[in-house]
Amino acid sequence: MRFSKEEVTAVAGRLKELPGKENARKHTKRAAIAMLSREIAELKRRGYTLEQVAEALSGSGLPISTPTLKNYLHRQRRNAERSRGSRTGSTRKASGKHAVSPAAAFRPTPDSDDI
């Protein structure tokens, strides 16, 4: 089956006229905590305990236990540190040249009784 340029243009116009669709993607609990990590950190700065934060999250429709919340936040921090470290780490690759000349290479000495 083949389509003329006009038919394809007409279909394109109808597609453009479709209303926007709400993002129906669901997030995992871990992803939700990652998204809320700044707000959670702010609550902790204001004096809330993790237990109180977990209760507030559960009461707001995101049921989570204190140990799970602690675990997810720890993972979030660790992943953030890793990503920062990989971006800011300035490790240079070896140039392939030896830093020591062959004349200054290791030379074994005879054993002695000195310890």
- Residues with Cβ within 8 Å of 75's Cβ and at least 6 positions away in sequence, in order, are 30
pLDDT at residue number 95: 53
pLDDT at residue number 62: 94
Tell me: the pLDDT tens digits for 59-114?
999 999 999 999 999 998 898 888 887 555 445 555 555 555 566 677 777 777 77
Residue in 43, 62, 63, 45 with CA at minimum distance from that of residue 53? 43
> Which structure tokens are listed for 69?
């919340």
3-state SS assignment for residue 44: helix
pLDDT at residue number 35: 92
Q: How big is the chain by its Cα radius of gyration, in Å? A: 30
From residue 35, give the alpha-carbon distance in Å to each of 4, 18, 29, 40, 74: 47, 30, 10, 10, 14
Contact between 53 and 70 under an 8 Å Cβ cutoff? The reply is no
pLDDT at residue number 60: 94
The answer to whether the predicted template modeling score (pTM) of the entire model surpasses 0.85 is: no
pLDDT at residue number 5: 93
Tell me: the pLDDT tens digits for 35-66?
999 999 999 999 999 999 999 999 999 999 99
